Amino acid sequence: MAASDSKAGKAPTRRQTGAPTLSDVAHEAGVSPMTVSRVINADGKVRPGTRQRVERAIAALNYRPNISAQILAGMSQMRIGLLYSNPSAAYLNEFLVGCLAAASEAQAQLLVEICEPGQEGATAARVLAGGIDGLLLPPPLCDSEDVLAALVEAGLPAVRVGTWDAEPATGAVSIDGYAAARTMTAHIAALGHRRIGFIRGNPDQTASERRFLGYRDGMREAGLAVDPDLVAPGLFTYRSGLEAAEQLLTRPEPPTAIFASNDDMAAATVAVALRRGLAVPDDLTVCGFDDTAIATTIWPELTTIRQPIREMSHAAMVLLLKAARAWRLGQEPERAHIVLDHALIRRASDGPPR
């Protein structure tokens, strides 16, 4: 909608009542509050056409910069959007606990929206246009090109969780999935296994490639060759784990150990092994990644990599709220990449080969 007819026939919004604010000017001009602040401060980086729109909006609203009002705007309740489409309920549950805790501590409002497959960009654009102050993106949406394009278009602060891809427009929180997968592979090799299978994650996620590279280099460091027949595709879903495990365990020379890229696929591998009459870990070692609830609700309990999902989402929310406050005040948001520690958690699903 053009700025000239954005108010025609409509009642003023809550933020348009009383003295006009920097956000009102931004809405009138169709730009971000940061852009308005740059125009006011004579920042030369603003394009001439954008500067003219902002100046017309300032004149139309009779806006006068007010530092106190801007500070109050930065202190009022934040509205943070959370987009999700993660197929793992266990991962999402942990993620939400951390988000809600951080939002409660900051008295921020959390708006949760599901993204249907193929609608990622459209859903992100709709949420971004809905009056939020920032967007939180867990996997797999953290690596969605359509979502990132919508973010660039909107100019709002965002933090991505679980990605390793450097993106200057957003902040990020993750673990070093490469190092974690290499550690797990070295652990399995140290038990005496030589035929170690691997189930990859969703190819659209940077975390999947990092974990595979960690497995590959861990094998090489143990003096083992990576057999392409022992690497199966997966999608981070339980069903894809069933299919991958069937593929690996029906090989003429099956693996004696399988390392799955997440706990859901590892749990599926245990189910397939037991259905085929294999004892875990006596006949087959199975290891996972994430340390979600499923790791300790199946039998035998999974040896896995602990990814502190709850802590990651909490840290991401804190980082996003800080960026959103800066954005409200027309300041440049901080875009850090926070890397949290991981740990190898050994339980009952691993052991030496028979």
Cβ(201)–Cβ(261) below 8 Å: yes
Rg for the chain, CA atoms, rounded: 24
Cα 51 from Cα 38, distance rounded (Å):
9
Instruction: Give pLDDT, residue 110.
Output: 94
Residue at 345 is within a domain? no
* 352 found inside a domain: no
Residue 189 and residue 284 share a domain: yes
**For the stretch 66-102, what's the b/e string if a residue is b when 16 or more beta carbons lie within 10 angstroms of its beta carbon?**
eeebbeebbeeebebbbbbbbbbebbbebbbebbbeb
Give the span between the Cα atoms of 319 and 83, in whole angstroms. 17
For residue 136, the surrounding DSSP H or E stretch is strand 134-137
Mean pLDDT of all residues in 223-246? 97
pLDDT in tens, 293-347: 999 999 999 999 999 999 999 999 999 999 998 888 888 887 899 999 999 999 9
Together in a domain, 169 and 265: no
Q: Tell which of 52, 72, 92 closes a domain.
A: 72
Determine the pLDDT at residue 66.
53
Count of domains observed in the chain: 3
pLDDT in tens, 19-50: 777 778 888 899 887 787 777 766 566 788 88
Say whether both 270 and 206 belong to one domain. yes
Q: CA–CA separation, 226 vs 252, rounded Å? A: 16
Range of the domain at 329: 78-175+310-338
Average pLDDT over residues 96-110: 91
With CA atoms as reference, report the closest residue to 272 among 248, 303, 245.
245
CATH of the domain at 64: 1.10.260.40
